[in-house]
A and B are shown apart, each in its own frame.
Chain A
Amino acid sequence: MSKSSLLEVKELVVEYAVREGRLRVVDRASLEVPEGIIMGLVGESGCGKSSLIDAIMGTLPPNGYITQGQILFKGKDLLKMSKNELRKIRWEKIAMVFQAAQNSLNPVLKISEHFIETVKAHNGNLSNKDVLRKASELLEMVKLEPQTVLNSYPHELSGGMKQRVIIALSLILDPELLILDEPTSALDTFTQSAILDMLKEIYRNKRISMFIVTHDLPIVAKIAHKSAVMYAGKIVEIADVRTLFYNPSHPYTKALIEAIPSIVGDLSNRKPIPGNPPSLLNPPSGCRFHPRCPYVMEICKEKEPPFFEVDDKDKVACWLYSKENRG
């Protein structure tokens, strides 16, 4: 464990109890979110990234269970903490912006009430005026007009405005880590771009670490420094973004990059990834990606690959990079 790791997920397993049995959506996933950077996590829909986030924030649905692993925040395991200790961490140290956050606001409460109740739940000493003053600063930082917005109800704001409010709300207690789950889905491209720029600015101004989870690769390209890649409940590669896009190691990452359409260039170069995402009830043996992998070897069908370090910027879970195979 490196010294500057803010959040570390170790061999996490998350299962859902469904009628057919137990669905393992996160299968011994491990990654680190270092301090002081923007970290990404990419993967297709259904690869388990949202469940991973839910596990970190404690928002799993009633039929979701964390059966193995650790989630370490600054060295302390969140899964072993008491409710009170967790309350001090949640939102005060780690805050989250949910997917489709437009519905994250209570329709019967004004925006100002959202801020006040959040602060009151953690620190009863601050007066309402102080809270609102801080909220106004944050709202200005997200390019909203504080007076109008604070006095509005959620339905009076547009989708993009609500998203910014949610981001401001997540910063009200000065957290050290901000987790964002698909922060730009359900927004048009212009707003998307604006929100991403805004996030970069917040990162610079507040020196806050961010963890952005998305299926949309270009977002990671635009804003993250480092990113993990998730497939079928497992983390398959962790590298800095440059390497990921220009020199990906894992076959799945390679396929993902090649599948991105570019505005310039030839559309005929695009190759969809063959095959279908695996069933999580009956996952493939060995490496999960092996049925669709163009470089598949015998060992891939039998044993799951551990992480191998390609260099100091890139870690891959693929047998291609084992000491033997690399020569």
Chain B
Amino acid sequence: MLRVIKRIAYSLVTIFAATTLMFYLLHNIPGDVIDLWAYQLMEEMGLRYEDARQVAMVMYVGYGEDRPLHIQYIEYISNLLRGYLGFSPTFRVSVNDIVLKALPWTLFVLSVALILSFSIGVILGLAISWRRKGILGQVVVAYAAFTDAMPDFVTALLLMIIFAINLRLFPLKGAYNPTLEPGLYPAFIFSIFYHAALPIFSYVIEHIGYWALMMKGSAASVLEEDFVKSAEARGLPDKRIMTAYVGRNAVLPLVASLAIQLGTMLGGSTLIETVFSYPGIGYFFAESIGRRDYPVMQGLFFLIILGVVLANLAVDLIYPLIDPRARREVS
């Protein structure tokens, strides 16, 4: 129990530290921010400089202000604790609204991608570790080496070019067919999966190799363990040995790296969602960067950190459930 509390406390500290870092970063922008925005507004809306500056000051409340930084910080944190992430000047809605719209899509794509790549990768890795020499083993290893070399957005771009543009098999943008009304009926649900397919494939193609290789390595070392030899001597069927002996033991270190992978995927979502114009957290984060929309940047960044820390925490707390050795029970 003490360990759980310690872990949670540690997670909170990390979130806090990262958020503070981001805050000071964004509020220490060199140059006059209001000026920058004013010029941008002038271009966009054709205003005169004075008017543009007025509008900018109203819109970008909290930035470039004369109030001391720590007061702004305290206000930000107290808002944060009440669940209010700020207001977006460029999107004209609260950051909370953006999050509510975008988060489900990102979560959807990432979870499906993670589940798919993890399960297929683990099964593949187990299969090729079982037979020492086999064509499958070499194929998988070569594949993993190759995809390891490709950055994820390159994979995304290639998929886009081949499937969406040239073969016209998949849509080019969006989370669902815009002509359909959202609702729980088959055509809409199909549309969701249809639009999410390419982004999910990008992740899966990219990460399957990683899981397969890791599992292969882990399984190979488990196979050399005495308890596997003992299982064979006891006449246990191959299937049992592969699942309960090799599989369950080999997968343990992989579970530990699930959280890290989720962090990587969250980071990569920025690029992949942009390539496919898929309206998730990553897409809006990239958009906000382009528009210099600091409240959105800050808010979404906070969300990303939160996601990574929560994932780490979850894996940490779940791990003892699957590995008896990690439990602190007194027998």
Contact = CB atoms under 8 A, between A and B. Distances in A.
Do A and B truly interact? yes
A108 B323 contact: yes
Interface string A147-180: 0100011011000000000100100000000000
Nearest to A109: B244
A58 interface: yes
Contacts of A107: 227, 249, 323-325
Given A62-B132, A152-B331, A155-B325, A105 B227 contact: yes
A252 interface: no
Nearest to A105: B227
A104 B232 CA distance: 11
B232 to A, nearest CB: 6
Interface stretch (B95-103, B172-180, B196-204, B234-242): B234-242
Contacts of A153: 324-325
Given A108-B249, A121-B234, A98 B226 contact: yes
B236 A117 contact: yes
Contacts of B248: 108
Contacts of A104: 226-227, 229-230
B165 interface: no
Contacts of A121: 234-237, 240
A224 interface: no
A66 to B, nearest CB: 16
Interface in A68-123: 87, 90-92, 96, 98, 100-101, 103-109, 117-118, 121-122
A325 B12 CA distance: 87
Binding site secondary structure of chain B: helix
Please tell me the size bucket of the interface on A.
Answer: 20 to 34
A57 interface: yes
B233 interface: yes
Contacts of A98: 226, 229-230, 233
Nearest to A172: B234
Contacts of A62: 132
Contact of B227 (A87, A106, A148): A106
Nearest to B325: A155
Contact of B331 (A92, A100, A148): A148
B105 interface: no
A103 B233 contact: no
B244 A117 contact: yes
Contacts of A268: none
A61 to B, nearest CB: 9
Contact of A90 (B132, B229, B235): B235
Contacts of A87: 235
Contact of A103 (B132, B227, B232, B235): B227
Contacts of A91: 233-235
A103 B325 CA distance: 14
A262 interface: no
Contacts of A155: 324-325
A59 B234 CA distance: 10
Contacts of A166: 230
Contacts of B322: 108
B231 interface: yes
Contact of B235 (A106, A122, A152): A122
Interface in A36-59: 57-59
B225 interface: yes
A58 B231 CA distance: 12
Contacts of B249: 106-108
B245 interface: yes
Given A109-B244, A117-B240, A59 B232 contact: yes
B323 A118 contact: no
A57 B232 CA distance: 9
Contacts of B235: 87, 90-92, 118, 121-122
Q: Would you list the 10 A-B pairs with minimal beta carbon distance, nearest first?
A: A104-B230, A103-B226, A153-B324, A156-B331, A108-B248, A106-B227, A90-B235, A155-B325, A91-B235, A121-B236
13 contacts: A59-B233, A98-B230, A101-B226, A103-B225, A104-B226, A106-B227, A107-B249, A108-B244, A108-B248, A108-B322, A108-B323, A117-B236, A118-B235
Given A101-B226, A118-B235, A122-B235, 17 more contacts: A59-B232, A90-B235, A91-B234, A91-B235, A96-B233, A98-B226, A103-B226, A103-B227, A104-B227, A105-B230, A106-B227, A106-B245, A107-B249, A108-B248, A121-B235, A121-B240, A152-B331
